Chains A and B, each alone.
Chain A
């Protein structure tokens, strides 16, 4: 498959008066078109910084990001970003929340409404079209947030722990929902999570980062035997599931042992 995103020796440091903090150090990996990649790592290791860099919200200290083979700074990149919380704006109706991105990019046309209505219908939000976000359930809100992002037709979707604010049951449901939507729309996705089970159940490939300064520790291909459709929920029942879980657990903790020894 075609390589869509390439991260090459990426480094990033924060500067505060207290000093310099290296968040990322020589991170290298790539993502193919249509692939679902999960990035796991200890909390505070710089996962979110990595997404901010890919999204172009901040510029790398060193290294390059290529999208479709072009430097991300010059290519007309289009990246969708889903934050931890849905951040639907309370003073707008659901419909108006969905059009926010299109409004900002001046792409809102008559046709957009046709597409929006179709998506609202497909993903079970059509009856809430004119409701305030507060009337939507947690799962509906995340779906609405995803549609808001998808309407901008991004090449890559960045998911920054989009389920962490939800309770466990909703979380499993929404994982299935979001995963289904991403597959259906044939999008490439990069998911950040600290939940190992979530990563194994959703991703084709898992990139494990070390503690700060983060660098790529290992990359694991996930191949699960699932009867029927491989939804995240079905994936959790695959025989290989716990092996992957243990493998990643070990990878993450091995590192902590070393840091403990060092300290």
Chain B
């Protein structure tokens, strides 16, 4: 909305120089964008209103479906006793740790594969299989091996994202123009120079886009991990809430997850714009 407002303002300031047809075009565009935003907000309001209304009227059972007011009440109670921030904090911490490790491990292995063609040929079938395997199948194994703790959750989250990361980065690294590599070599550069002066800088955009995908995947992995092996976190709240029939917990956690995921995505989108334009 802010960009729309600044567009409006900039046009008001220089209205003398633009033609009336252009003004009409911009005005029509602004009206259309405003209408879209209005409808977006309306959908949310109507949805929440219907949900609240139907539970109040007894059309649906608020014990099973929860309700917006119960969720808000639940949030307030949990903020008051401090437990909400603890759960969010733990989920975020696990997400960031696994995200960081996925990027680090993914980059290092992709570089290794790019560096050594034989290694990449040897590992290729294993990577393909591990990437297509549903990683949630591995989570119970991690519990047995690593115990019922945060280590298991982080490893589970890494396993969700890391193989795709390696494959994507390696493919992008391989696509660097052959002549750019030749250029570095004609300037007397080694393979290390090719890596640091051409391969990595030319793939900065692709690395950031991989990060954008991975922040979401890490969150998925963390929630799967918390379902199975946790004493805290939003995933734990969801499982706990469904088991003791406190659906307020479940709905609240899902709502918070939506907000957290959107915010993480926005942050990376900001960095993407900053570093690739």
Complex: A132 Cα to B180 Cα, angstroms: 17
- Point out the residues of chain B lying under 8 angstroms from A149, CB to CB: 187
Nearest A residue (CB) for B187? A101
Q: Is there an interface contact between B186 and A81, defined as CB atoms closer than 8 Å?
A: yes
The stretch of A28-36, A83-91, A233-241, A253-261 in contact with B is A83-91
Q: Which of A83, A100, A104 sits near B179, CB closer than 8 Å?
A: A83
Nearest B residue (CB) for A151? B187
Given contact pairs A81-B186, A87-B179, A89-B197, a sample of 4 additional A-B residue pairs in the complex whose CB atoms are under 8 Å apart = A57-B185, A83-B179, A89-B198, A89-B201
- Point out the residues of chain B lying under 8 angstroms from A57, CB to CB: 182, 185-186
Chain A's interface size range is 10 to 19
Cβ of A50 within 8 Å of any chain B Cβ, yes or no, is: no
The 6 closest A-B pairs by CB, nearest first: A81-B186, A101-B187, A104-B189, A87-B183, A91-B201, A105-B188
A-B contact pairs, 8 of them (CB 8 A): A57-B186, A87-B183, A89-B197, A91-B202, A104-B189, A104-B193, A149-B187, A152-B188
Interface flags for A71-106 (1: CB within 8 Å of B; 0: not) read 000000001110111010101000000001101110
Q: Which of A80, A81, A91, A148 sits near B204, CB closer than 8 Å?
A: A91
- Point out the residues of chain A lying under 8 angstroms from B182, CB to CB: 57, 83
CB contacts between A and B, total, < 8 Å: 42
Q: Which of B179, B186, B193 sits near A55, CB closer than 8 Å?
A: B186
Q: Is there an interface contact between A104 and B186, defined as CB atoms closer than 8 Å?
A: no
How close is B178's CB to chain A, nearest CB, in angstroms? 11
Complex: A149 Cα to B193 Cα, angstroms: 17
Q: Is there an interface contact between B183 and A104, defined as CB atoms closer than 8 Å?
A: no
Complex: A84 Cα to B180 Cα, angstroms: 11
Cβ of B184 within 8 Å of any chain A Cβ, yes or no, is: yes
- Point out the residues of chain A lying under 8 angstroms from B188, CB to CB: 101, 104-105, 152
Tell me if B's interface is mostly helix, strand, loop or mixed.
helix
Docked complex: B159-189 residues within 8 A CB-CB of A? 177, 179-180, 182-189
- Point out the residues of chain A lying under 8 angstroms from B179, CB to CB: 83-85, 87
Nearest A residue (CB) for B182? A83
Q: Is there an interface contact between B201 and A104, defined as CB atoms closer than 8 Å?
A: no
Q: Is there an interface contact between B187 and A104, defined as CB atoms closer than 8 Å?
A: yes
Interface flags for A50-64 (1: CB within 8 Å of B; 0: not) read 000001010000000
How close is A14's CB to chain B, nearest CB, in angstroms? 15
Nearest B residue (CB) for A78? B188
Q: Which of B177, B185, B187, B204 sits near A100, CB closer than 8 Å?
A: B187
Output the residue of A55, A103, A104, A149 with the most chain B CB within 10 A.
A104
Q: Which of B186, B201, B204 sits near A83, CB closer than 8 Å?
A: B186
How close is A8's CB to chain B, nearest CB, in angstroms? 23
- Point out the residues of chain A lying under 8 angstroms from B177, CB to CB: 87
Complex: A100 Cα to B179 Cα, angstroms: 15
- Point out the residues of chain A lying under 8 angstroms from B180, CB to CB: 87, 89
How close is A163's CB to chain B, nearest CB, in angstroms? 16
Nearest A residue (CB) for B205? A91
Q: Is there an interface contact between A105 and B187, defined as CB atoms closer than 8 Å?
A: yes
- Point out the residues of chain B lying under 8 angstroms from A79, CB to CB: 186
Complex: A152 Cα to B198 Cα, angstroms: 19
How close is A121's CB to chain B, nearest CB, in angstroms? 23
- Point out the residues of chain A lying under 8 angstroms from B183, CB to CB: 83, 87
